[in-house]
Amino acid sequence: MPGDGSRTGTPSVLAVDGGNSKGDAVLLDRTGTILGAARRLGRLNDEVIGAVCADAGLDARARPVASVGVFCLAGADLPIDNRRIEQALEERSWAGRTLVHNDTFAVLRAGTERGWGVAVVCGAGMNCVGVGPTGRVVRFAALGPLSGDLAPGGEWVGLAALGAAIRARDGRGERTELERAVPEHFGMPRAESVMHAMYRHRMPTRLLVELPPVVFRAAGSGDVVARRILDQLGDEVVSMAVAAIRRLRLLRSDVDVVLGGGMFRADDPVFFERIRSGIQASASRSNVATLRTPPLLGAALMGLDEIGATPRTEARVRGTIDAAMAAAERTRPRSGAVHSRRSSNGV
């Protein structure tokens, strides 16, 4: 086939969005037609690539499977991460040309058509990227407390919830619904039971990332302690977004701020209003919006950008990606594990 995969129906782009708990992938031809889609739980590995190839009717062993591969991955936070991951991916020869980005870039590309703005991803962990109108990029290390992150994502929320439950039980803290709800989630009688199970390595601490829905429910029912945890998280989102806007000198602009990741899928108007009003207190003209489409869209669009696709092609992908990933979700195996943000993504 031509070197750019130009024949319609031939994969030109392999796009992958690899978060902490799942890997999404699509194969597209240069017209923006989705040839295959897949979702798998756990780290990025050969399984999700094999699944997307199978969905497209291709043999994953006949590599490369596409001319350009765009991999937007949690854990690609520092240049050294990008180099390591890119080298590992190139050894697998999944694509003729391999591009590695942090998953924040996928959220930004999917969430605004302007080509610049700010994106905050909050799932198990948290990160932020800002791109200015001139192409200037600002980033954060996103290494948790090591890089000064005060409330870095869903795993932190889970840890805070467990701590609040224990403190309520032993008298150091306020009484809270979390005292009951946290151990109940894990099928244990008390929060201390959860603590001991994790301390003795009978239960992995990564399971704390399951607790944010518990915290949102408690906060929604009026629990002050749960609401305080979410307020801290929201304030950290504001801090990252405003810092990126300020560093780009866009405080007076109508900059788009895109929020993506599992924590932003919660139905909690108070949480989102705190974030929106907090950002707009510093950047009054900013447009704060939650990404409602899979971040994988951003990786796909970046791949199409690389091969010089037209705006009509972008519109086609935007119009079909939701249905493709919904179908992939229905057919994926119901197994897998959650991993921390600093996961190697299996590469």
In a domain, 102, yes or no: yes
pTM for the whole structure: 0.85
The sign of the CA dihedral 102, 104, 106, 108 is negative
The 8-class DSSP code of residue 72 comes to: E
In a domain, 141, yes or no: no
Residue 91, classified by CB atoms within 10 Å of its CB into exposed (0-12), middle (13-18) or buried (19+), is exposed
Across 187-207, average pLDDT: 94
In a domain, 173, yes or no: no
In a domain, 343, yes or no: no
133-148: pLDDT as tens digits: 999 999 998 888 888 8
- Mean model confidence pLDDT for the chain: 88
Residue 341 has pLDDT above 60, yes or no: no
In a domain, 228, yes or no: no
315-337: pLDDT as tens digits: 999 999 988 888 888 777 654 43
Across 250-254, average pLDDT: 96
In a domain, 241, yes or no: no
Which range of residues forms the domain containing residue 304?
13-110+293-331
* Per-residue confidence (pLDDT) for residue 337, from 0 to 100: 39
62-111: pLDDT as tens digits: 888 899 999 998 878 888 888 888 888 888 888 989 999 999 999 999 99
157 pLDDT tier (thresholds 50, 70, 90): very high
Across 34-63, average pLDDT: 83
In a domain, 288, yes or no: no
β-pair partners for 70: 15, 99
Return d(Cα 88, Cα 169) in angstroms, integer. 47
The 8-class DSSP code of residue 145 comes to: G
Report the CATH number that the domain containing residue 53 is assigned in CATH: 3.30.420.40
Domain total of the chain: 1
In a domain, 129, yes or no: no
User: Which position has the token pair 């932003």?
Assistant: 264
